[in-house]
Amino acid sequence: MASNSSQTSNEQDSSEQLRRQGSLRRVLPPNVNGEPVVGMSAKMIERPRPNNPNPNSSKHNYNQYFQEYSLIAEYNMLVNQRLPGLYVMPSANSALVWFCVLFVRKGLYQGGIFRFNLLIPEDFPNSGCPRVLSDSPLFHPSVDPVSGEVVVASVFPEWRKDVNRLWQMLEHVVQMFCSIDTKNAVNIEAARLFEDSQEEFIRQVNECVELSQVAIYNPPTVDDAHYIKFDHFDSKIHDKVLTSLIEPKETPKLPAKRGLSWVQYGSLEPFSASHS
């Protein structure tokens, strides 16, 4: 009888604890300090709110991170393309400026070393077309003689982020030295000479190439740690590096490494290898 009465009282006590009495806070048992669990959870998720919240701040932060990942993906795609003679380095001051140096390997401009700057819009990729500016004196029908801007409107009339890529624009710059287009020329004099006087055009191109080979050693035009710099060949410094690049390296022949196994080499019996 005593045990039955104690069991009944325990069931009544437990039912009293689980009975809803106007609030969820009375259902959950308190913690060690006597504070309800719901109150603790409410304190954990509470955050101080700014006095003047900006509704566009979260959108701005998202766009910034999205742009950074887009630029990283664009640069990785450019590296995988391995465009011949082209070296590209994003600016240390702004990821929206890429320094480019092109070594022309064939065509009328063969031997030329030309600098370009790829200027990416601030709201990339949801923006207009990037711009390519020549940082070297360049006599070419597709290069504006005053501003140095390379005309790309014929290839990229509008920028579509789901179709166009930055490497495609730089590929167009590489190809314009091999395939000269005069239909969309911005340097009218260069286009006229190319069509009517090939000898004079080639003469001015050769002067442009020789000038670029000298100008490549000029001091940087901007203060940027990632600006691509060149020095004259110094045999004391560069001979050792050049030799290491030309001569093949001898690699010692080491025995092939085997992984750990419980089977003796040449045997099919499990656990035949010794433990030592």
Specify the CATH architecture of the domain 92-223.
Roll (3.10)
Residue 120's pLDDT is 96
Residue 118: is its pLDDT beyond 60? yes
Residue 220: is its pLDDT beyond 60? yes
How many other C-beta atoms are found inside a 10 Å radius of the C-beta of residue 145?
15
How many other C-beta atoms are found inside a 10 Å radius of the C-beta of residue 131?
15
Residue 26's pLDDT is 41
Residue 176's pLDDT is 95
Residue 113's pLDDT is 97
Residue 42's pLDDT is 36
Q: What is the DSSP letter of 45?
A: H
pTM (global) more than 0.85: no
* Cα–Cα distance, 53 to 57 (Å, whole number): 8
Overall average pLDDT of the 84-92 stretch: 96
Overall average pLDDT of the 249-270 stretch: 72
Domain regions of the chain by residue span: 92-223
Overall average pLDDT of the 94-111 stretch: 96
Residue 216: is its pLDDT beyond 50? yes
Give 98-167 as a 3 state SS string.
EEEEEECCCCCCCCCEEEEEEECCCCCCCCCCCEEEECCCCCCCCECCCCCEECCCCCCCCCCCCCCCHH
